[in-house]
Amino acid sequence: MNATYLARRLLLAIPTLAGVAVIVFVLLRVVPGDPIAMMIPPGAGEDDIERLRALYGLDLPIWQQFLAWLGDVAVGDFGTSISLRQNVLGLVLSRLPATLELAAVAMLLALAIGLTLGLVATRWRGHWPEAGTDGIVGLALAVPDFLWALVFVLLLGVAWPVLPISGRLDPRLGLEFTTSFYLIESLVTGRFAVAGMLLSHLLLPATALALPLASVIARVLKTSMAEVMGEDYILMARVKGFGAWRVILGEALRNALIPTVTLSGVQFTFLVGGTVLIERIFSYPGIGNMAIGAVIERDLPLIQGLILTFAVLFIAVNLIIDMAMVWLDPRVRHG
Amino acid sequence: MAEPRIWAGGAVLATLVAVALLAPWLAPHDPLAQDLLAGQLPPFWLAGADPLYPLGTDSLGRDLLSRLIYGARVALTVAVVASALAALLGTALGLVAGWFGGWADMAISRLIDIWMAFPPVLLSIVLVAVIGAGLPAVIIAIVIVDWTRFARVIRAEAIQQRGRDYITSAVTIGLGRWAILLREILPNVLPLLLVLLTLEMGVAVIVEAILSFVGLSVSSDSPTWGGLIAEGRQYIHQAWWVMVAPICCLIVVVVGLNALGDGLKNALDPVLRR
C-alpha cells in the first residue's frame, strides 16, 4: 500500500469537508421558521425566548455562530438536538450502526447479484442467458431504488406478506443488545435466530438499495470481461484445456474487476445516499430516517450533524474504493 | 429505424405530454372533488368497484384516475423545466472548466467534489425545506442538486474536444477563446447534452415524486404521483391500490425516458452507429 498516495487523498478530503461545513451552515441559517418558536409552549414570555436564544447561541452575529459551531464540530461537539433535547453526536452514533449494517448488507447483495449476472452473461455470451441478464440489468438500472422499495412493499409486504416491511426488529420481542450493531452482535454471540430476524427485516430495503448498484456492476463487468476474454493469455488457458468457468473465474475475473471497481465506485456512494429515503419508506431506525425527521422538525443542529456524518461517510467510501483499486491493480500500487 | 428504443421512449414522452395538456378533458372527475360516501372504493378489477371511479377512490372519496391524470402535469413541468435549467447551469460550468482549465477548472472541480459529498436526496429535501414548499422550490432544489451530473460529463468531453485537431486549427486561424467555445466546442457536445437531458428528465420526475412522498413538494391541493403514493402508504393495509397506479406511472415514465436516452446515445454516437 502506497502510504504517500493515501496521505494525499486524506489531505484532499479536508477542504472538501470544510466546504460541506460552510454550505451546510449557510444553507440552514437562512431557514425560514424560527426553531425557537417551535420549542416554546404557547404563552411563554419574551424573556424565556431570549434566554433560549442565548442558550443555543442564536443571538450572536452569524459569523460568530459559524466560528463557534466550527470549533465545536472540530472536537466532535455537534450541539444539542432541538426537537429531541439530546446530544447530537450521541444521537447520530446511536443510529449510525443501523445504517452501516443496512449499507453493508446492500453492498454484499449488490456484489452477489451483480457478479452473478455479469458472469452468467459472459459464460453464455450470444445465447439466451445473455439476453435475459441484459433485460434484468436494463430494468434494474432504469428503475430507481425508491420505486423498487415501493414495489417490494406492495408485492412482498402486502399482496403476499412474506417479509416484514417496517423497522429493524419487532419491538414486541423486547430483545436486549449491548451494542448498536445488532446484526454483527447477534452473529458474533451466536444468536442466529435473532440474526435471521434482523436479516428478514433488512432483506427488502437492502435489495431495493442493491439493485441499481448490482446492475452497474453487471454491465461494467460484462463489458470488461468481453475485453479480457480476447487476450492471448485467455486463449493460452483455453489451449491448456481449462474449463469455461475455470478460465472465467481463475484467469479473467481479476483483471476485469479493476474497471468494475472504478466505475461502480460512484454508484456505491449513491447507495449510501439512497439509505436516506429507503430507511424512511421502511421506517428503519437509521440516520437517514432520522435526517428526514430532523428536516421536517427543522432541528438545525441535528440536520447539520447528520449531513456532516453523511459527508464523512461518502469521503470514507471513496477512500475505500481507492484503496481497493490500489490492491487490485499493480500498476497503481507500484506507480 | 435501427433504434426501437427511441420510438418506445418517445411514445412514452409523447403520451405524458398529451395527458398533461389534455388533463381537463381526459379526467372524468374534478381531482379535488371529495365524495365522503364513496371513500376507498377499489379499482374496476376488484369486487365492489363503482364504474364511475375506474381506478377507485382515496380515503376522502377523490377519484384516483383524475388525480393521476392531473399529476402528470406536475411531473411533466418538473421534468422539462428542472432538467433544462440544470443542463444550462451544468453545461456552462462544465464547458468553462474543461475549455479554460487553470484556476477556473480547479474552482469548479472542487465545487463538484463538495457537491458529491452530499447525499443528493437529503440535500434536495433540505433545500426544499429551506426555500419553502411549492413547485418553484422543487425545481430550484433539483437544479441545485443535479447540475453536477451535467458539469462532470461536459467538462470531461470539453477536455477531450480540446485535444482534437479542429480546435488547433481554430486557434491557428486566430479565433477568440470564447468564439471557439461557443462555435466549435458547444455544437460538438450537443449530442451528449441531449442524452444527458433525457436521462435527467427521468431523474427529475423521480425527485419530485420523492419530495411529494416526504410531504415537501407542492401542496396537497394539486395532486402529484408522489403525493398519491404517500397517501397510499398511510392506508396500505386498507386500500393498497391507491399506491399501485402512481407507482406504475412512474416506472413507465422512468423506463421510457431511460430507453429514449440510451437509444439516442447509440444513434448519435458515430462510433457505435457504424
- Write out pLDDT tens, residues B207-221: 999 998 887 766 667
CB distance B129–A23 less than 8 Å?
Answer: no
Across the range A8-33, mean pLDDT stands at 78
For the cut 70, the answer to whether the pLDDT of residue A91 exceeds it is yes
At residue B42, does pLDDT exceed 90?
A: no
Cβ <8 Å between B117 and A315: yes
Give the pLDDT band (50/70/90) at residue B267: confident
Residue A130 pLDDT > 70? yes
pLDDT tens digits, one per residue of A24-71: 887 777 665 565 665 666 666 777 777 777 776 777 777 787 888 788
pLDDT of residue A333: 65
Select the more confidently predicted residue: B157 or B58.
Answer: B157
What is the C-alpha to C-alpha distance for residues A124 and B225, in angstroms, rounded to an integer?
A: 40
Residue A38 is predicted with a pLDDT of 57
User: Position A5: which residue type?
Assistant: Y
Q: List the one residue out of B114, B106, B117, B142 whose CA is nearest residue B216.
A: B142
Distance CA B210, CA B226 (A): 6
Pairs across A and B, CB distance < 8 A:
121
Which pLDDT band, with edges at 50, 70 and 90, does A9 fall under? confident
Please report where in the chains the cell 456532516 appears, as a residue.
Answer: A308
Distance CA B125, CA B141 (A): 8
Q: Is the per-residue pLDDT at A76 higher than 80?
A: no
Average pLDDT over residues A132-146: 88
Read off the pLDDT of residues A206-226 as tens digits, 9 standing for 90 and up. 999 999 999 999 989 988 888
Nearest-by-Cβ selection for A27 from B130, B213, B240 = B130
Please tell me which residue of chain A has the smallest CA distance to B225: A147
Better pLDDT: B148 or A159: B148
Please state, in angstroms and rounded to a whole number, the distance separating the CA atoms of residues A325 and A260.
10
Nearest CA in chain A to B149: A266
> Residues of A numbered 196-215 whose beta carbons fall under 8 angstroms of chain B's beta carbons: which are they?
none
- For chain A, percent of residues with pLDDT exceeding 70: 93
DSSP string, A232-257: HHHHHHHHTT--HHIIIIIIIHHHHH
**pLDDT digits over B221-260, tens only?**
778 898 888 888 888 888 888 888 899 999 999 999 999 9
- Return the number of other C-beta atoms located less than 10 Å from residue A96's C-beta: 18
Q: Does A30 contact chain B (CB < 8 Å)? A: yes
> For B119, which of A143, A273, A280 is closest by C-beta distance?
A273
Mean of all residue pLDDT scores within chain A: 84
Question: Cβ contact (<8 Å) for B126 and A27?
Answer: yes
Beta bridge partners of A80: A87
Residue B120 has pLDDT above 70, yes or no: yes
Predicted local distance difference test score (pLDDT) of residue B220: 62
Rounded average pLDDT over A117-143: 87
Percent of chain B with pLDDT over 70: 96
Mutate to test the interface with B, among A22, A99, A154 (most CBs of B within 10 A): A154
Predicted TM-score (pTM) of the model is: 0.87
Residue A171 has pLDDT above 90, yes or no: no
CA distance B118 to chain A (A): 6
What ipTM score was computed for the predicted complex, to two decimals? 0.88
Residue A239 contacts B where some CB pair is shorter than 8 Å = no
